[in-house]
Chain A
Amino acid sequence: MSAASSGRRVAVTGLSAFAPGRATMDPVAVIAQPRRLRAMHRSYQLGTAAAALALRQAGLDNSDAVARACPPERAGIAAALPDVSPITADLLQLLAAVGPTLDTAAGWQQFAELGLHQLHPFRRLSLLANLAAAHTSLLFDLQGPSFTFTSGGIAGLQTLSEAYWTLHGGQADLMVCHAASAPEQEFAAVPAGEFAAGVVLEDWEQAAARGARPLAELTVGAAMDAALPPIAGSPAQTLVAAVDRLSAGGVVSLDALTATPFLERSA
C-alpha cells in the first residue's frame, strides 16, 4: 500500500489570467528569452508566460526564489494544453514538392530526402503537448512531479485537482498549474482568441513560513472526481474561469468550480 496522504492544507499564492476583451499579455516580454521562444508554439509561449506571471505574484520571480521556497524536486507542474496542429506551412510545401507520386516507394523516398532538409529538426518536439510544462520546468528549475492533460475543457480543472492531491498527499510542496490556447495553431475546436491562465498552489505551512500571502485556500470534494458533463471550450478557458473565482479569495472548493452554471458563465 502506498504512503498515506499527509492531509495538508493547500494555499493559492499566485494567479494570472488572460482572455480576449480583458487583460492581455506579451509572452515575449514575460519570458524574455528569444531563443527559447523561437522553439515554442504560441500556445506554449502563452502557457509558460502565464505560469511565470503567477509565480511572480507568488513572489517567486526565478529559479533561485523557487529554490528558497522549497527544494527543486519538491516543486512540480500540472499543465493542460490542446493538441497543436501538425499541418504546418513547411509540411504543405514538402507535400507540394513531392506531388502526386507520394504513395509509391519513389514518392516516399523523395518525401524523406526533401523532408530531411525542409522540415525543422525539432518539428516533432514542437508538437508535444507536454512542452509547455517542460519549458516552465527549465525556466524555474522545477524538478518535481509533472502532469499534462489533454482531456478537453475539463483538463483546466484537472490540473488544479491533481496538483491539489499531489500537495495534499505530500508528493510536492509547490505546484504550478497552467493552461493556454491559441486557436490558429490548434488541432481542436477552441474558442476564438487567446486564453491563458496560471495558478501557484503551495503547502499552506510552507507558504506561511516564507511570508507569502495566501490569496485563497483550495479544497477538493467528491464532485471533481464524479462524472461531469462535458465542458465546452479549451482547458485554458476553464482555468481562466477558475482563476476568476479563486481571485475572489476565501475557501474555494473545486466542487464549486465544477458546477455546470459556473462553467456556463465562463463560456
Chain B
Amino acid sequence: MSCWITGAGAISPLGTGMAAHQAAVAAGRGGIGAITAFPAQGFPIACAGEVRDATLPSGSARPEAMAQRALEEALLSAGLDGAAPDPRRALAFAIGKPTLELVPLARRSLGIAQPQALAAAHPEMERERAHWDMPALLDRLAARAGAAGPRYACYTACASGNDALGLGLRLIERGAADVVITGGTDAQVHPLSLLEFELLSALSHGPADNACRPFDRNRTGFVVGEGAAVVVLESEAHARRRGASPRAVLSGYGSSMDAFGLTKCHPQGRGAAQAMRAALADAQLPADALDYLNAHGTATVLNDQAEAAAIQQVWGAAAGRLPVSSTKAMTGHLLTAASALEAVLTLIALEQQILPPNLNFQNPDPDCRLHIITEPRPARVRAAMSNGFGFGGQNASIILTQAGAA
C-alpha cells in the first residue's frame, strides 16, 4: 500500500509556514543569528537558529506551541482540519525533552542540595511537571490532530524525526491506520542545553553568518536550532476516496545502530550506510535512482567524515555525482526535530524541483568527497533521501519520491 504525503507544516528559523520555507530554500537564506532567548552577551555560545516569533511562549511550553502551529498548517493543507476524532488516525511524534525553567528552579532550590528534598519542599512542582509529561503532551497533540488511534512518542536522539516518519510508514503499510500525523518538535535554545552540548565539545563558536559549515574543511561544530515540522501520511486508498492529492510518496525507511560508541559514530559510517541501504531496499530503488540527498551533516568533524564515507560506500563511484546538501547550515540543528524538518525540506525539493543549498561551504574537505550543492539550483528531483543520525549510534534514513514516480 502506497504511503502518500498529503499535508505538511513547519516552523523553524527559516520562518513560519511552508511558504516561508520554500522562499528561504529558493533564496538560499539561512536563519541562524545572535541568541535572543536570554541575555547571552557573556555566554560562550553566541548564536543559534531561533524561531523569531514573539507570540510563542518561552520555556517548557515552547515545543508544544511550535508543534501545534506546524500541526495546524499540516492538517489544513491536507484538508483534514476540523474533522471529528478518528480511530483510524494515528500519531507518531518525536518530542524533545521540555527544558527546565532555571530562574524559578534556582529560587525554589535555595538551601536545598538534593532533588528529592526539592520535590518534598515544593509539591507544586509535581503538578507543573505532570503537565509536560510525554504522555500528557502526546494526548494534547493527538486531540488537536483528531488522532483517536494509537499514539507513539518516538525517541532516538537526533534520528527521532525520521524514526517517527518511518513508524508512520509502517502503520500505513500494515493497515493499522488510514492517516498518521507525524513529525517532531524541539526547543533547546536554552542556557542549560547549550552548556550541555558545549561540555561535549560539539558546538561551533563561529560568527552567526557562517557558524555552521557542514562538510567544509574548516567546520568547527553545530549550531543549536529549534522548531517543529509535521507531515500528514495517508494511505493511497484513503486519500483517493476523499479526493486528496499526493504531494509526494514516503517510499522507504531504514533504521540501524552503530554499536560503536555513545557519542562517536562509527568512523567508516558502517551503521549510516546500513540505514541508507535498508531505506533503498525498502523503497525498492537502486541508489542511482536518487536525485538528491539531504545529509544529516551536523558540521562536526567526525560526523561529516563518517557520513561522507557511508555515502561513498552506498553509491560507490557514483557518489561524486549525487547532489548532497546539509540544510543545517540554514536552520541549525533542531535535535529531536531535525530530521522531521529535513523531511519537509526534502519534500520542498521534490515539489519545487530545486536542490536546497549547503550554505557556508567554501573549502572542500578531502575526507568528505561529495558533490555538495552550495547554492539553490533548479533540478529534476524525482526521488530523494534524508538522513538522521543520533547519539547512541542511532541511524535512520527515509526516501521520498515524486508523486507518480513511485
User: For residues 10 through 52 of chain B, which have their beta carbon under 8 Å from a beta carbon of chain A?
Assistant: 38-44
- Which A residues touch B261, using CB under 8 A? 138
Which of B314-322, B326-334, B386-394 is the contact stretch? B386-394
Contact of B284 among A3, A187, A188 (CB under 8 A): A3
**B150 lies within 8 A of A227 (CB):** yes
B134's partner among A87, A150, A171 (CB-CB below 8 A) is: A150
Q: Tell me the A95-153 residues at the B interface (CB within 8 Å).
A: 95-96, 98-100, 102-106, 108-109, 111-112, 115-116, 119-125, 127-131, 133-135, 137-138, 141-153
Closest to B200 in A: A124
Instruction: Give chain A nearest CB distance to B22 CB in angstroms.
Output: 28
A1-28 vs B: 1/0 string, CB under 8 Å? 1110100000000000000000000000
Interface status of A156 (Cβ within 8 A of chain B)? no
Q: Which residue of A lies closest to B38 (CB)?
A: A108
CB distance from B78 to the nearest CB of A (A): 20
Q: Which of A66-88 contact B (CB under 8 A)?
A: 72-73, 76-77, 82-83, 85-88
Interface membership of B373, Cβ < 8 A: no
Interface residues of A in 179-223 (CB under 8 A from B): 184, 187-189, 222
Neighbouring A residues of B38 by C-beta, 8 Å: 103, 108
User: Contacts A2-B282, A108-B38; is A128 near B392 (CB within 8 Å)?
Assistant: yes
Number of A-B contacts (CB under 8 A): 252
Q: Which residue of A lies closest to B44 (CB)?
A: A112
Contacts of B197 in A (CB 8 A): 124
The complex places the Cα of A244 from the Cα of B281 at a distance, in Å, of: 37
Task: Assess whether A64 is interfacial by the CB under 8 Å rule.
Answer: no
**Partner pick for A189 among B111, B133, B283, CB 8 A cutoff:** B133
Interface: A92 (CB within 8 A): yes
From known contacts A98-B106, A146-B255, infer whether A128 and B391 are also in contact, taking CB-CB under 8 Å: yes
B180-211 with Cβ < 8 A to chain A: 191-193, 195-200
- Please tell me if the beta carbons of B109 and A95 are within 8 angstroms of each other in the complex: yes
Contact A109 B153 (CB under 8 A): no
Chain A minimum-CB-distance residue to B279: A2
Chain B residues positioned under 8 Å from A187 (CB to CB): 97, 129, 133
B154 close to A83 (CB less than 8 A): no
Instruction: Please judge, given known A-B contacts A115-B195, A123-B199, A130-B392, whether A148 and B115 are in contact too, CB under 8 Å.
Output: no
Residues in B with CB closer than 8 Å to A264 are none
Q: Are A125 and B391 in contact (CB under 8 A)?
A: yes
> In the complex, are the beta carbons of B152 and A105 less than 8 A apart?
no
A226 beta carbon closer than 8 Å to chain B: yes
Structural contact, A102 and B102, CB atoms closer than 8 A: yes
A127 and B257 within 8 A (CB): no
- Contact partner, A145, options B90, B256, B258, B284, Cβ 8 Å: B256
Q: Which of B371-406 contact A (CB under 8 A)?
A: 390-394, 406
Chain B: which residue is nearest A36 at the CB level? Answer: B262
- The verdict on A37 contacting chain B, using a C-beta distance below 8 Å, is no
State the CA gap A99–B107 with chains docked (Å): 8
